Amino acid sequence: MQDINMVRNIAIVGHGNCGKTSLAEAMLYTAGKINRLGQVDSGTSAMDYEEEEINRNISINNSFHNYIWKKHQVFLIDTPGDDNFLNETLFATKVCDSAVFTIGAVLGVKGQTIKFADFIAERKLPCLLNITKMDRERANFEKAIDEIKAQLPVNPVVIHLPIGAEDNFRGIVDIIRQKAYLFNEGGSGKVTETDIPAEMLDDVEMYRESLMESVAETDDELIEKFLEEGELTKEELLAGLRKAIATSEIAPVTVSAATLNKGTELFLNAIIELMPSPADRPAAEGINPENEEIVSREPSLDEKFSAIVFKTMADPYAGRLTIFRVYSGVLSGDTFYNSSKKTSERFGQLYLLEGKDQKPVDSVGPGSIIAVAKLKETVTGDSLCDPSALIVFPELEPLKPVISFAVSAKQGDEEKLFSSITKMLDEDLTLKLSREQNTGEVLISGVGPIHLEILASKIKRKYGVEMELSRPKVPYKETIKGKARVQGKHKKQSGGRGQYGDCWIEIEPVESGSGLVFEDKIVGGVIPQQYRPAVEKGIQEAMEKGVLAGYPVVDIKASLVDGSFHNVDSSEMAFKIAGSLAFKKGAQEAGLVLLEPIMDITIKVGKDNVGDVMGDLNSRRGKVMGMDSDGKYEIINAQVPMAEIQTYATDLTSMTGGLGSFSIKFSHYEEVPGMIAEKIIAASSQE
């Protein structure tokens, strides 16, 4: 069993197109785990292997691999950088011991970069910064550092200084060791030690002074020595740096050009030398489900086994693949206890994930990222443990869906489609399937339009059924504003027994949410008792079909006050029709209006974007209900008609450069303004 001090597990995070997957590829190649350096753009990457990822040149799912470097075992999670798949990154940062935070030397800090930095800061996750794509045109190391300092909640200290940039990026100066390394030719990732270029000596001294000062400030003994002597030894610097990284007080900065495999060897060294092992992290806390007491598990081989499931992958051939992170103890054998579901689960084999492949292993310990296949009960978020030492870890809460589409099968195979979607719901907790009762549509909800487009692509590829997405109908409703007293009379004679039903009803509006309130005010026997429920049923059916534009009518009180009947020709059906006719006539007289759903929306944006967002809300007929501040963010609380924000996920991303986020929930119904109502009614009539 691997000494846990020699284990690292790392999530690679960063905004889209900043080179995360290329960096992971270079790390695996340089460590000898893969025998060729794949490329994202050509679809040959070991980490982006699903068809949708290759076609779009983006990471969609968390991808897993591992390697050995200088006897250390490193578990690697390559996370997506696109807003549509943010939840994958969120879960990865919650289970890993540290993060590699990639920032492009050309693009610098983007909206998603700030979101990921907030994830990392919230969890106090140790991180190592890597300025990527140093070989690209307009690569600017100093600009990237300045943006990190100005915009991210991390304290960057440079430990690797680039020698040259763009086409001239040819080496790295190790600030700690005060040595220079030039890249070997041929893309091996290896380096050759050399003297620091003379023109860089002043910069190196400046960065080393800054590094020593930053490290010293995190430790009382070191600051005392540094103030007295103005110097720290290499050993003191390394020890202080490790300690400060483990407590998230410092984030070391490295550099690379991954597609050319430049800087990778020194980067791999930095990971094992500076980043914490599971043993350096705090004990994992949870609840004992039997007595609700807080319990903890130390990251030790001697502890009882515990783990948390953070990813489920659906495969039409291999079945469901369950991925979990081990917090304590050793797992071997063929069973574990699911403390979330209170059941034992039997499994066939433990697997190390290596891109699209799996490597069987016999046992695993703390820090391991591991998978098993075909579990029956266990799903994402469940806690696993030894049955003699129960623990349930805090739930992994997924991001809430913010956009919905009506979903149907293109070729009518609805059963196969919804069976496929159900399997994908296990894999992706940010998806939600629901039925809108008022419109009859089945809705699929997700984090963004690309999220749902890729879902459709996956279902077609994996299960052979085409999913059609369309903008959902807005569930409008109708109601009345005034009162009316009307007669509904149904009289029909066509030879033989006729049809006769006659009723008078009074209708008036009632409190929102009341639906239909029916009152029988018949005195005497003008309408026999057996026909009166039929009047109510006729009114109810007419309300469901709508009067103004075909939308359900709500919040009506209908009182049956008078009428007449025929001994032979009256029937329940005749009075049902009479009730329906009376309601339609009365609703017109009482003044029908159209109602629309109003949503509560909470928008979180940077201070620079507040004006644009507020102006946009006004253009959508929104009402700002209040504002709050949360550090560098402003939180806008508003109410907006559902019809105006069906594409808001895309629009907010565009307005805020990816920095804005929002959540929505239904609030209430309100009357639609006259001119807009006319257009809706006209469109409904055409349909």
Does 595-686 match 4-280 at the fold level?
Answer: no
Calpha distance 226→244 (Å, rounded): 16
SS3 141: helix
Give domain 284-385's CATH architecture.
Answer: Beta Barrel (2.40)
CATH number of 4-280: 3.40.50.300
At 422-443, the pLDDT tens digits run: 888 888 999 999 999 888 899 9
pLDDT of residue 17: 84
| CB-count burial class (<10 Å; 0-12, 13-18, 19+) for 418 | middle
Tell me which fold the domain 595-686 belongs to: Alpha-Beta Plaits (3.30.70)
Under the banding of pLDDT at 50, 70 and 90, the label for residue 525 is confident
Under the banding of pLDDT at 50, 70 and 90, the label for residue 595 is very high
Under the banding of pLDDT at 50, 70 and 90, the label for residue 56 is confident
Tell me which fold the domain 478-590 belongs to: Ribosomal Protein S5; domain 2 (3.30.230)
pLDDT of residue 42: 67
Q: What is the mean pLDDT of residues 228-248?
A: 93
At 349-375, the pLDDT tens digits run: 999 999 888 899 999 999 999 999 989
Give domain 403-470's CATH architecture.
Answer: 2-Layer Sandwich (3.30)
SS3 559: strand
pTM for the full predicted model:
0.86
Q: What is the mean pLDDT of residues 501-517?
A: 94
Q: Name the residue ranges covered by the structural domains of the chain.
A: 4-280, 284-385, 403-470, 478-590, 595-686
Cβ(150)–Cβ(273) below 8 Å: no
Beta strands in 318-441 (DSSP E): 319-328, 335-338, 343-346, 350-354, 357-361, 369-373, 383-385, 403-409, 432-435
Cβ(81)–Cβ(107) below 8 Å: no
At 178-230, the pLDDT tens digits run: 999 999 988 888 899 999 999 999 999 999 999 999 999 999 999 999 898 88
685 has a pLDDT exceeding 70: yes
pLDDT of residue 387: 95
| Cα–Cα distances in angstroms (integers) from residue 267 to residues 33, 46, 90, in the given order | 16, 19, 24
